[in-house]
Structure 1
Amino acid sequence: MKTVSVSISIVCLLVLAGCQSVPARMPQAEPAPSAACYFPASQTAGSHDALTRSITLLEEWGFELETTDTELGLVTASRQRNLIGYYDPYDNAFGYGRNMQVFGGFGLGSRGSSIGLGVGGRVGGHPGHQAVEVERVSLLARGDAIRISRDIRRFDPLGDLRESYNASNDDFCLRFQGAL
């Protein structure tokens, strides 16, 4: 009887192992970066000149430089802004994202009769914390081509990542290319 139960267990384990699946494709940026984010450096009179002008342009647009490597032709910059009134639709699913929270209770004393009642409340989000959006741009100027990559991440007031997406779209890349 013990042999039969071990055999059944092994068969069940093999069946469950066969249910494991391998992804159909490797992860990729969704949506795909725009074709406008890859353009020839000849439009901007050389990659080194384009790199220095790109740094100036990013700083004018309010980005702070994080990394620059002139030998590689790489620039990474980011900017951050507060999201006033940011609402995450998933907050209420767990009960901690509501705008009004009230705590209270009462107790009875063991000696004599005493009753206490306490009510406290808080209106609004988390004091001292703000939801933020971080926008990051990476620019690679090598040889005769320039490539721009941009992503946006949104964090809730607790600092948890709530949204992240590739923002390498026509609008941003064409504005950058025109200003360069």
Structure 2
Amino acid sequence: MKSIPISLTCLLALAGCQVTPSSLPQAEPAPAAACYFPATDARALETSVDILTEWGFTLTSTDTTLGLISASRERELHGYYDPYDNAYGYGSGMRMFGGLGIGGGSSIGFGGGIGFGGGIGQQPVEVERVSIFVNDAHIRISRDIRRFDHMGDLRESYSASNDDFCQRFQTAFEQSVPTAGSPL
């Protein structure tokens, strides 16, 4: 009988312990009800693009056959405090890496590195992304916000499809749509 190496046995035992998720990921918090509203205007995509560009968004991609618009805007966060800055023992623009190893026989190895200045002159940034889906005479808005620290590391990310943003968009959309009797 052929022996099975202990590492393969452990690997097989651990593979049997994996559990598949019981549900798919969901947006937390769930999008607000105001983020889904009727749009009877045939030019809903063009109107949505106009509103987003007026609000300072830059189009990242569009697909008119699907009725999808994606846009984003970015702003610097002056004075942004990162609550996780010192969570792992480093922060304030300093990164460290090092190690120590002892080998067989009489060999000893030591390595180290340190970096200063990462992020000097850079500001923390907030990136706001919006996706608009127009289909079956309805508009669906999805929005998220991501915050990056001065090193460019992602520090916060959350769904921002809230009542405030969606109601402001819906109001701007309804004001931009011409009435039935008015000339274009």
Q: Quick one: which of 39, 42, 46 aligns to 1:41?
A: 39
More helix by share: 1
Partner of 1:110: none
Partner of 1:70: 64
Give the SS at the match of 2:43.
Answer: helix
- Paired with 1:64 and 1:148, the residues of 2 have a C-alpha distance of 16
> How many residue pairs end up in the alignment?
152
Give the SS at the match of 1:136.
Answer: strand
- Paired with 1:10 and 1:127, the residues of 2 have a C-alpha distance of 48
Distance 1:9 1:79, change over 3 A: closer
Partner of 2:121: 128
Deviation at 1:174, TM superposition (A): 0.8
Q: Structure 2 counterpart of 1:51, which letter? A: L
Q: Structure 2 counterpart of 1:138, which letter? A: S
- Paired with 1:129 and 1:12, the residues of 2 have a C-alpha distance of 46
- Paired with 1:51 and 1:170, the residues of 2 have a C-alpha distance of 21
What is the percent sequence identity of the aligned residues? 65
Partner of 2:109: none
Deviation at 1:57, TM superposition (A): 0.9
Deviation at 1:179, TM superposition (A): 1.0
Partner of 2:113: none
TM-score normalised to structure 1 length: 0.71
Partner of 2:90: 96
Asked if 1:57 corresponds to 2:15, the answer is no
Deviation at 1:27, TM superposition (A): 1.0
Whose Rg is larger?
Answer: 1
Q: Quick one: which of 16, 22, 25 aligns to 1:24?
A: 22
Deviation at 1:13, TM superposition (A): 6.5
Q: Structure 1 counterpart of 2:32, which letter? A: S
TM-score normalised to structure 2 length: 0.70
Superposition RMSD on alpha carbons, in Å?
Answer: 2.9
Unaligned runs of 5+ in 1: 102-121
Unaligned runs of 5+ in 2: 95-115, 174-184
Q: Structure 2 counterpart of 1:70, which letter? A: T
Distance 1:34 1:14, change over 3 A: same
Partner of 2:144: 151
Q: Quick one: which of 79, 83, 87 aligns to 2:81?
A: 87
